[in-house]
Structure 1
Amino acid sequence: MADVLVILKVYPDSDEVNLDNLTQQINSKLPQGYKLVRKETEPIAYGLKALVVYIQMPENTEGGTESLEDIVNGIEGVSHAEVVQVTRLGF
């Protein structure tokens, strides 16, 4: 079974949200078999930045990326999260 790489853009509630702490919270809530492999920040406007995380997960996950979005959207300090891209890693 192959894995997929999910690029997830996470929008914080405010510019006061610590994105490093947010990354740690996301990483701690990932289910078994999921792995946070990279993070970046992306400017939005007026000092507000989005967190862009790259998460490796099993391809044949029931519900696809929806469960991942639900997990991240449930974290305090997250306004909303959306999948930007999904790409297959194995063949």
Structure 2
Amino acid sequence: MGEVVATIKLMPESPEIDLEQLKSDIQTSIPEGAELHKIDEEPIAFGLVALNVMVIVEDQEGGTEKVEENLAKLSGVNSIEVTDTRRLM
């Protein structure tokens, strides 16, 4: 099999969330078998900033599920959504 890069949009609960702390929490929550590629900030509105988390996982059924579960459990996270997946050549 190959590898897939997935982009997961993470929405904080409020604009007051410490994004640097949240980024640190994201780094430590990436499970074994997945690799954090990068985290980009995306301004939404009224000071709210979403984080686009790009991870590399194996191309198999349920490849991003464990990453999604871990991110959803983080303190200060309102919602997560996989917005893009691409196979790495």
User: TM-score, with normalisation over the residues of structure 1?
Assistant: 0.88
Aligned to 2:82: 83
Q: Provide the aligned length of Structure 1 versus Structure 2.
A: 89
2:81 is paired with a residue whose SS is strand
CA contact (8 A) 2:57 2:63 kept: no
2:32 is paired with a residue whose SS is coil
- Measured after TM superposition, the shift of residue 10 of structure 1 is 0.3
- Measured after TM superposition, the shift of residue 18 of structure 1 is 1.5
CA contact (8 A) 1:39 1:51 kept: yes
Q: Deviations over 1:14-50 (max 9, x none)?
A: 1111222112111111111211111111111101110
Aligned to 2:9: 9
| Alpha-carbon distance in 2 for matches of 1:39, 1:27 | 9
1:43-82 counterparts in 2 under 5 A?
43-60=43-60, 62-82=61-81
CA contact (8 A) 1:11 1:80 kept: yes
Percent identity over the alignment is: 37
CA contact (8 A) 2:10 2:77 kept: yes
Aligned to 1:20: 20
User: TM-score, with normalisation over the residues of structure 2?
Assistant: 0.90
Deviating beyond 6 angstroms after TM superposition, the runs of 4 or more aligned structure 1 residues are: none
Counterpart AA for 2:52: V
Counterpart AA for 2:36: L
Counterpart AA for 2:29: K
Ranges in structure 2 where 5+ consecutive residues have no aligned partner: none
- Measured after TM superposition, the shift of residue 80 of structure 1 is 0.6
Aligned-pair RMSD on alpha carbons? 1.3
| Alpha-carbon distance in 2 for matches of 1:63, 1:42 | 26
CA contact (8 A) 1:27 1:35 kept: no
